[in-house]
């Protein structure tokens, strides 16, 4: 027996492909995990008379948002390192705290809180870089989210692994165990050029080529990173990565703030994607990324939230609005990054960076039914001339009403539907006080070494 058909019936459907298309009086037909078809409402009624109908007046339906870069578990470190530049933030707060706190339990609890926040913000897929990725996978599975797990690599030891070879071994073993899970994919995730040796980076490049995995790396985030690289290696970080075989169409350059003309041309020539994190860049004082130059060169630009410790919100729509306003203001070009182009960056561009654009990122027949319904009926959103512009510039994540992932409704009227999530979230929330007390003790110097 074939699976039942569900008809999603909003006022507007924006499939992203073709870009700029807005469908009115259309239905989105879902069967099982996939999109069956997009068709005029009258035709849908005639073709699928027995289908279940989800009527959403005043709603806009888009593909699910793709968070191209985050550290989900750092939700538990939200606010602990505010008002510090990147290196002090890492060396004085984040790395010492992680050294004391890092465990599967810490990672799981932080990731559960992050997944809940992201789902409520319309994010259906996130690209994660953190220790104990199996705990992140458990959290995503419990809440029904799609996740790209980073096989993290860094030179220094942690509670998770002893060094680069151990990080790679454990990550690849996890990939082998979870390879059949439909909502889980993987990236190779060397932390940054300044924290990973040539030998380890070379191994990452070989594995990426052999396994067909994207490479997800912090790159050119600060001016100091570049100065240090030139002093130590004689070349800028992206030149070093290129020589080691890590710069290509499967590379996701996170931040990419400080770029020369040569760097930009190299990225465009090699087909590199960017994960743009404007709030984190601004909050850490790292700078304003050259978005206009990315776009002029046709570089694939997606958006990421970074982690809650440097943002402090996992709000992808806010990232897009800020990114667009910065690009317009710095370039003096008001036409830069239209609302429809931003929606493309939030969806299909992120999917493309992760190698998932054949499955998600747009509402085409045959793709997975990952979608979000935004309620634009609130008075502060009226009148609605262009629903996509209204979403980006007037609304935001508070407009998220319904979310589906792989054809399964995971958020309904802003409430999580997953039974597992409903059981796990209160348990995790009950432990946040314990984590807060431990962090406070560490920061005050009262924790035992």
Domain harbouring 178, CATH code? 3.20.20.140
Q: Is residue 427 part of a domain?
A: no
Are residues 203 and 263 both part of a single domain? yes
User: Following DSSP, what letter does each residue of 167-222 receive, concatenated?
Assistant: HHHHHHHHHHHHTT-TTEEEEEEE--GGGS-HHHHHHHHHHHHHHT--EEEEES-S
Are residues 317 and 201 both part of a single domain? yes
Q: Is residue 341 part of a domain?
A: yes
Are residues 330 and 382 both part of a single domain? no
The CATH number covering residue 58 comes to: 2.30.40.10
- Distance (Å, whole) CA 419 – CA 426: 12
Q: Is the pTM of this model over 0.75?
A: yes
What is the average pLDDT score of the chain? 96
Are residues 332 and 369 both part of a single domain? no
- Where does the pLDDT of residue 446 fall: very low under 50, low under 70, confident under 90, or very high at 90 and above? low
Q: Is residue 119 part of a domain?
A: yes
Query: b or e along 357-366 (b: 16 or more beta carbons within 10 Å of the residue's beta carbon)?
Result: bebbbbbbee
Are residues 398 and 261 both part of a single domain? no
Torsion angle of the four alpha carbons 309, 314, 315, 316, in this order, in degrees rounded to the nearest 10: 110
Are residues 343 and 263 both part of a single domain? yes
| Residue where a domain stops, chosen among 302, 327, 353 | 353
- Distance (Å, whole) CA 123 – CA 361: 11
Are residues 69 and 18 both part of a single domain? no
Segments forming the whole domain that contains residue 376:
5-63+363-415
Over residues 41-78, the pLDDT tens digits come to 999 999 999 999 999 999 999 999 999 999 999 999 99
Q: Is residue 118 part of a domain?
A: yes
Over residues 383-404, the pLDDT tens digits come to 999 999 999 999 999 999 999 9
Least confident range from 83-87, 199-203, 260-264, 393-397: namely 83-87
Residue 448 is predicted with a pLDDT of 45
Are residues 349 and 309 both part of a single domain? yes
Are residues 203 and 332 both part of a single domain? yes
Least confident range from 110-114, 188-192, 329-333, 442-446: namely 442-446
Q: Is residue 446 part of a domain?
A: no
| Token couple for 110 | 């932080």
For residue 43, report the phi and psi dihedrals to the nearest 5 degrees: -70, -40
Are residues 39 and 85 both part of a single domain? no
Are residues 100 and 10 both part of a single domain? no
- Distance (Å, whole) CA 125 – CA 122: 9
Provide the 3-class DSSP secondary structure of residue 445.
Answer: coil
Pairing of strands 251-255, 273-276: parallel
In terms of Cα–Cα distance, which of 101, 160, 161, 112 is closest to 136? 112
CB-based contact 92:84 (threshold 8 Å): yes
| Residue where a domain stops, chosen among 353, 380, 402 | 353
Q: Is residue 430 part of a domain?
A: no
| Residue where a domain stops, chosen among 314, 332, 353 | 353
The number of C-alpha atoms within 13 Å of 202 and in the hemisphere containing its C-beta is 5
Q: Is residue 55 part of a domain?
A: yes
Over residues 336-390, the pLDDT tens digits come to 999 999 999 999 999 999 999 999 999 999 999 999 999 999 999 999 999 999 9
Tell me how many domains the chain contains: 2
Are residues 218 and 130 both part of a single domain? yes
Q: Is residue 443 part of a domain?
A: no
């Amino acid at each position: 027996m074939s699976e039942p058909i569900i008809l999603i019936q909003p006022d507007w459907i924006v499939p992203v492909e073709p870009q700029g298309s807005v469908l009115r009086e259309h239905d989105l037909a879902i069967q099982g995990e996939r999109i069956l078809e997009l068709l005029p409402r009258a035709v849908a009624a005639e073709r699928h008379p027995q289908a279940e109908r989800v009527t959403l007046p005043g709603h806009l339906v888009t593909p699910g948002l793709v968070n191209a870069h985050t550290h989900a578990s750092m939700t538990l470190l939200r606010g602990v390192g505010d008002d510090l530049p990147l290196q002090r933030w890492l060396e004085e707060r984040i790395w010492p705290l992680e050294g004391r706190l890092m465990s599967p339990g810490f990672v799981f609890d932080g990731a559960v809180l992050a997944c809940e926040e992201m789902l409520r913000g319309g994010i259906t897929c996130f690209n994660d870089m953190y220790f104990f990725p199996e705990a992140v996978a458990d959290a995503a599975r419990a809440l029904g989210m799609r996740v790209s797990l980073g096989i993290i690599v860094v030179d220094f030891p942690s509670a998770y692994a002893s060094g680069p070879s151990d990080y790679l071994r454990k990550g690849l073993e996890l990939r082998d165990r979870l390879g059949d899970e439909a909502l889980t994919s993987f990236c190779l995730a060397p932390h940054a050029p300044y924290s990973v040796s040539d030998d380890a980076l070379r191994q990452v490049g070989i594995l990426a080529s052999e396994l067909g995995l994207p490479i997800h790396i912090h790159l050119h985030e600060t001016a100091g990173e570049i100065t240090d690289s030139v002093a130590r290696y004689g070349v800028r970080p992206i030149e070093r990565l290129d020589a080691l075989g890590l710069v290509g169409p499967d590379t996701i350059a996170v931040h990419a703030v400080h770029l020369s003309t040569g760097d930009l041309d190299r990225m465009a020539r090699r087909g590199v994607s960017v994960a743009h994190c404007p709030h984190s860049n601004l909050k850490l004082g790292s700078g304003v990324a050259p978005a206009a130059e990315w776009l002029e060169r046709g570089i694939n630009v997606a958006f990421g939230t970074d982690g809650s410790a440097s943002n402090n919100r996992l709000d992808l729509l806010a990232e897009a609005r800020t990114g667009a306003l910065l690009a317009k203001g710095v370039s003096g070009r008001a036409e830069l990054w239209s609302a429809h182009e931003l929606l493309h960056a939030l969806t299909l561009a992120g999917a493309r960076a992760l190698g998932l654009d054949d499955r998600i990122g747009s509402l085409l027949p045959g793709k997975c039914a990952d979608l979000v319904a935004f309620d634009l009926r609130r008075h502060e959103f009226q009148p609605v001339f262009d629903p996509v512009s209204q979403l980006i510039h007037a609304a935001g994540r508070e407009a998220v009403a319904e979310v589906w992932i792989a054809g399964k409704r995971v958020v309904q009227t802003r409430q999580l539907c997953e039974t597992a999530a409903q059981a796990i979230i209160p348990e995790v929330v009950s432990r946040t006080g314990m984590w807060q007390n431990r962090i406070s003790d560490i920061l005050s110097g009262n924790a035992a070494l």
